[in-house]
């Protein structure tokens, strides 16, 4: 966006003012210190290192675990905003502020956290919109929900372990979800760029500048419906 007087807080306050008392602002925030990639390096570690890692790694706590800065500077600002609610799935974690914040973030499934019952599914149910505020097409998290929903054969499944709090104690749980970046073909990640471009080329959504940021505003449910059809044509059964 360029320089903003007052910084990120002013950006969030402006969005909340536009939404009003009946509106809600939600962001995908993830978890800054997630250990989901640990299995890829574990095999290189001595066993005593692995045991120490599992013992010392702090659990995911929705109230205190940092939002991932990779998903923009705004994520941690919204996480710590007064009245913010955060969902309990570590990797697919979302934060919301406003009228529907609690409903959007509560009961977020640990398994297949980008599918039914997730904040992404609820966003579509609530007829919400997505705003790309200077963000690239590759950052549209809603594409993971579309990928979960699309009827594509031989979907890849990934599994990883994360520590969470259960009744005040740290417990390592195995998470399972579809690899919605991989699909079947090795170049499938390209759809994160190609699919949104086709969507906006069809005349859907609104495009404009916010400060210096090329921005896009579009209907969540309409985008998912378009994306599911696109993915099924590209990767579905012939």
pLDDT digits (tens, 9 = 90+) for 169-187: 999 999 999 988 765 444 5
Q: What are phi and psi of 68, to 5 degrees?
A: -80, 120
Query: Is 216 contained in some domain?
Result: yes
Q: Based on the structure, what is the number of domains in the chain? A: 1
Report pLDDT for 185.
46
Q: Which residues of 153-184 are buried (b: 16+ CB within 10 A; e: fewer)?
A: eebeeeebebbbbeeeeeeeeebebbebeebe
Q: Looking at the domain assignment, is residue 1 inside a domain?
A: no
28 inside domain: yes
Structure tokens that stand for 21 in this block: 């008392």
Please tell me the distance from the alpha carbon of residue 29 to that of residue 23, in angstroms, as a whole number: 19
Residue 2 forms part of a structural domain: no
- What's the pLDDT score for residue 38? 65
* Alpha carbon distances (Å) from 103 to 33, 99, 127, 230: 26, 9, 14, 30
At residue 186, the pLDDT reads: 46
How far apart are alpha carbons 191 and 234 in whole angstroms? 9
Distances (CA, A) of 41 to 36, 49, 126, 137, 233: 11, 11, 41, 30, 36
Indicate whether 217 belongs to any domain: yes
Does the pTM of the predicted model rise above 0.85?
yes
Selection from 104, 100, 97 nearest residue 75 by Cα: 97
- 172 found inside a domain: yes
Q: How high is the pLDDT of residue 238?
A: 54
Report CA-CA distances (Å) from 81 to 34, 39, 65, 85, 165: 22, 34, 14, 9, 22
Has residue 50 been placed in a domain? yes
Tell me how far apart the alpha carbons of residues 237 and 97 are, in angstroms, rounded to a whole number.
41
124 in any annotated domain: yes
Query: Other CB atoms closer than 10 Å to residue 126's CB: what's the count?
Result: 16
> HSE on the CB side for 199, CA within 13 Å?
28
Domain that holds residue 82: 8-235
Q: What is the pLDDT of residue 140?
A: 94
Q: Which positions of the chain have pLDDT values less than 50?
A: 184-186
């Amino acid at each position: 966006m360029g320089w903003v007087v007052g910084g990120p807080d002013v950006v969030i306050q402006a969005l909340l003012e536009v939404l009003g008392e009946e509106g809600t602002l939600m962001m995908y925030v993830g978890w800054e210190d997630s250990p989901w990639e640990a299995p890829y390096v574990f095999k290189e570690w001595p066993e005593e290192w692995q045991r120490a890692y599992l013992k010392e790694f702090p659990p995911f706590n929705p109230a205190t675990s940092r939002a991932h800065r990779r998903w923009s500077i705004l994520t941690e600002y919204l996480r710590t905003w007064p009245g913010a609610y955060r969902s309990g799935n570590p990797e697919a974690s979302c934060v919301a502020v406003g009228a529907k914040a609690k409903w959007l973030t509560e009961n977020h499934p640990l398994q297949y956290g980008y599918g039914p019952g997730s904040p992404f599914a609820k966003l579509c149910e609530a007829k919400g919109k997505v705003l790309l505020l200077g963000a690239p097409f590759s950052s549209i998290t809603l594409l993971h929900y579309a990928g979960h929903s699309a009827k594509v054969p031989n979907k890849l499944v990934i599994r990883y372990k994360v520590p969470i709090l259960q009744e005040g104690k740290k417990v390592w749980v195995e998470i399972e979800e579809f690899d919605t970046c991989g699909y079947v073909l090795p170049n499938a990640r390209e759809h994160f760029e190609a699919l949104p471009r086709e969507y906006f080329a069809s005349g859907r959504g609104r495009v404009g500048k916010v400060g210096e940021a090329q921005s896009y505003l579009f209907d969540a449910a309409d985008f998912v419906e378009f994306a599911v059809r696109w993915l099924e044509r590209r990767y579905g059964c012939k």
